[in-house]
Amino acid sequence: MNEPIIRELKIDDIWNGFLKSLDSLTIASNIDKDKAKEVFKKINSNPDYVIAVAELDGKIVGTTTLFIESKFIHEGGFVGHIEDVSVDKDFHGHKIGQKIMEYLLEVSKKRGCYKTILNCTEDVKPFYEKLGFRQVANELRIDNV
Where residue 91 sits, what CATH number does that domain have? Answer: 3.40.630.30
Separation CA 139–CA 12 (nearest Å): 35
Q: What is the largest CA-CA distance in the chain?
A: 45
pTM over 0.85: yes
The amino acid at 23: D
pLDDT tens for the 145 residues of the chain, in order: 789 999 999 999 999 999 999 999 999 999 999 999 999 999 999 999 999 999 999 999 999 999 999 999 999 999 999 999 999 999 999 999 999 999 999 999 999 999 999 999 999 999 999 999 999 988 888 999 8
Residue 143 domain-assigned? no
The number of folded domains in the chain is 1
Residue 144 domain-assigned? no
Q: Where are the beta strands (DSSP E) in 27-128?
A: 49-56, 59-70, 78-87, 113-117
The amino acid at 120: C
Nearest to 43 by CA among 74, 18, 16: 18
